[in-house]
Amino acid sequence: MKILLISYDYYLYDGRLRELIKVARALGETTFITRSSDGEKPQGEGHILYRDRGYSHFILFVCQQMQKIGPQDLILIDNRKGIIPGYLAKKLTHARYVVQDCRELYSYQSATGIAGKIGCLIEKIFTRRSDVVIAANAYRAKRMVKMFGLKEMPLNYENIRRLTYRSEQAHQQVEEECREFFADQEKFRIISTAGCDVSRTTVRMVEAMKGLGDAFELLLIGESEEEDEQIIRETIRSLRLTNVKIFPQMDENHLKYFIEHCQVGMVTYHQRDLNNKYCASGKIYEFLFEGKPVVTSTNPPLKEFCEKYHVGQASDDYEQAIRKIADQYPRFCETVKHVAGRLHVEKNNDRLTEQIRRRLGVS
């Protein structure tokens, strides 16, 4: 079976996308189109990079590539912005099937701006036409049936993913670049990979560092809106903090190294819309696979996970949650080690592969 995966996201920075590509390859001969970050090279055979010139040009680019790619059997659509180019590709390649991964969940009522509302309408129109629909957790799958008028429950594909070094040489290079930053091994470091995103309760996270003091250090890593970063920097200045550090978005090698050398991972979301309230965070798995307990916000999936597996604290009081983990750190780490040993990225991918085959009735 020939498969074409279409994504408007970045291979180097998107863990769910990387795992979806593995699923596609397990289903058949795969070609995948993704956006290109600066200096990125194709990640193996069948990878087509789109040098970013905007979304409308991306749609045109995909259509142009169809002449080179030729007939396909299945189109795998990654996320909402893959829908229009994906369905155009279906028509141009005479593909029989469409599999659509809905990693996000926005309602028309909660969408902000014209573009967001148009995106919701497009998703509602086309999702019900897809042969297989994938959700990022069970909470979302149940809601999507009613929202999109689906005849079948979406397949539940959790964001179980593990960070890896691309090579031993890459590991050594990162070690040389970053070793000095972690020279002070007495610090109890907390890491968030949401950048300075104010909507993700980052201000509250920074404010907690005032009470925790200099024995603790918070690292904020990720792409940030300029306005959000200004708010966080102003909060740091007003509180006279020296224990909060801001870093840009990192590739997988650097991100893994930083998580390895921290003690706790922060996984936080607001609860003002469905996508965030019923978050499907892969970050929690990235932290667990590195042996790190987590502090999370009280969103239902995160709260349920912490209470079920005892791998961290779900709380709106970040300072007290961090202190509790620090006070019982060996116990939390032992529990994380036990739970992580029962999580399997490959089994999660294999399960989705087999579920897609059964839904489509193919071998």
pLDDT, one tens digit per residue, over 20-46 is 999 999 999 999 999 998 889 999 889
Please give the model's pTM, rounded to 2 decimal places: 0.86
Q: Return d(Cα 106, Cα 131) in angstroms, integer.
A: 21
DSSP 127: H
Percent of the chain with pLDDT over 70: 100
Is there a contact between 73 and 28 (Cβ–Cβ < 8 Å)?
yes
pLDDT digit string (tens) for 305-357? 999 999 999 999 999 999 999 999 999 999 999 999 999 999 999 999 999 99
| Average pLDDT of the chain to the nearest whole number | 95
Give the model confidence (pLDDT) of 171-200 as tens digits.
999 999 999 999 998 999 999 999 999 999
**What is the distance of C-alpha 343 from the center of its chain?**
17
DSSP string covering 24-75: HHHHSEEEEEEEE-TT----STTEEEEE-S-HHHHHHHHHHHHHHH---SEE
The pLDDT, as a whole number, for residue 120 is: 87
Q: Quick one: tokens of 29?
A: 């001969």
* AA identity, residue 25: R
CA separation, residue 78 to residues 38, 101, 240, 250 (Å) = 21, 5, 43, 22
**% of the chain at pLDDT higher than 90:** 86
CA-wise closest residue to 220 among 232, 231, 238, 208: 232
Rounded to 10 degrees, the C-alpha dihedral 317/318/320/322 comes to 160
pLDDT digits (tens, 9 = 90+) for 212-257: 999 999 999 999 999 999 999 999 999 999 999 999 999 999 999 9
- The pLDDT of residue 110 is above 80: no
